[in-house]
Amino acid sequence: MEPIGYRTPSPGRLDATFAALADPTRRAILDRLASGEASVSELAEPFAMSQPAISKHLKVLERAGLISRGRDAQRRPRRLEAAPLAEATGWLEHYRQFWEENYQALDALLEDLKAREARPSTSRKRKKQP
Amino acid sequence: MEPIGYRTPSPGRLDATFAALADPTRRAILDRLASGEASVSELAEPFAMSQPAISKHLKVLERAGLISRGRDAQRRPRRLEAAPLAEATGWLEHYRQFWEENYQALDALLEDLKAREARPSTSRKRKKQP
DNA sequence: GCTTTATATAACCAGAAGGTCATGGAACCC
DNA sequence: GGGTTCCATGACCTTCTGGTTATATAAAGC
């Protein structure tokens, strides 16, 4: 069972990704970056926390590959890098069958989508729902 | 954007879930439990680690709600509890658009599926691009 | 009842995590 | 060139983590 987009990442990378996601401040930072890049001070603003603390969080996110650093004058704007999130999601997809009621229907739909991506002009017939 | 099955969990629960997943031993334990319940000694067997260390890992998983404890004579078999995995996946789904090439097609399909589950004979309305 | 099996718990330890304050350094502004 | 802004880094502290060994508890077997 290999869901779309899943290639097994190195265990260490998953370690770093999940560890980075285990902190609410860091998740909030990622949420913020989902709406576009932002400078360190912009990222720090919502939190009742010193700027060095935010810099530490950013370093954790960066070492996990979840963000990258740009440069604009004195600013070092951060950007979201979604690849590790995709890997983490991929790992979790293995367990989808354990909570998804209609897992098989969903899986069929995903397979269908994949098939249509591969040959775009193919008929749009749907797989039967089991 | 609310993917299938997503209800925002308490932040603390996501903390605990992601923290639990950040360790390769614990992920391996979950992988093992995905193929059925297992006793502590069965779970410990593959690892070059003492039994108390495994018990500690199990406690972390249990406090995150990822496993539950049964009883069978002296054994205390563990079972996978997937709800927190669903919550974690739900959080990650927010970011799917950042790595998924055909995010829109997938999203449409998921919406479609949801609609068909709710009212099986209804027309297929599509979401507008954001 | 004593022994064995299965698991939990306590005490301990090293290192990592997450915060603080103070300082350093680079790029802009006047 | 001197101040200001933005960010990084160092030194420090406390708490959490992940492991150890040794011991306790609980049920089963003989």
- Candidate from A30-39, B71-80, B112-121 with smallest mean pLDDT: B112-121
Nearest to B19 among A4, A14, A22 (CB): A22
Please tell me if residue A15 touches chain B, with a CB cutoff of 8 Å.
yes
DSSP string of chain A?
Answer: ---TT--PPPHHHHHHHHHHHTSHHHHHHHHHHHTS-B-HHHHHTTSSS-HHHHHHHHHHHHHTTSEEE--BTTB--EEE--HHHHHHHHHHHTTGGGT-TTHHHHHHHHHHHHHHHHSTTS--PPPPP-
**Nucleotide minimizing C1' to CA distance for residue B72:** D27
Instruction: Quote the mean pLDDT of chain B.
Output: 83
Q: What is the pLDDT of residue A5?
A: 43
pLDDT of B128 above 50: no
Among residues A93, A129, A118, which one has the least CA distance to residue A1?
Answer: A93
Write out pLDDT tens, residues B63-84: 999 999 999 999 999 999 999 9
Task: State the pLDDT confidence band at A31, using cuts at 50, 70 and 90.
Answer: very high
Domain ranges of chain A: 11-85, 101-130
Buried b (16+ CB within 10 A) or exposed e, B47-69: eeeeeeebeebbebbeebbbbee
Instruction: Please compute the mean of the pLDDT values over residues B94-114 and round it to a whole number.
Output: 72
Are B19 and A19 an interchain contact pair (Cβ–Cβ within 8 Å)? yes
Closest partner residue to B102 among A88, A100, A113, by Cβ? A113
A76 vs A70: CA distance, rounded Å: 5
In Å, what is the separation between the CA of A77 and the C1' of C26?
15
Check pLDDT > 70 for residue B61.
yes
Would you state the pLDDT for residue A128?
40
* pLDDT tens-place string over residues A37-80: 999 999 999 999 999 999 999 999 999 999 999 999 999 999 99
Q: Residues with Cβ < 8 Å from A30, sequence gap 6 or more? A: A21, A61, A66, A67, A80, B95
List the structure tokens of B44.
């410990």
Interface contact A121, partner B, CB < 8 A: no
Chain D bases near protein CB atoms (7 A cut-off):
5-11, 17-22, 26-28
Q: Which of B67, B23, B5 is nearest to A100 (CA)?
A: B5
Q: Going by C-beta distance under 8 Å and a sequence separation of 6 or more, which residues neighbour residue B42? A: none
Could B15 and A23 be called an inter-chain contact, meaning their C-beta atoms sit closer than 8 Å?
yes
pLDDT score of B8: 62
Residue B92's H or E segment, with its range, is helix B83-93
User: Does residue A110 have a pLDDT over 80?
Assistant: no
CATH code assigned to A11-85: 1.10.10.10
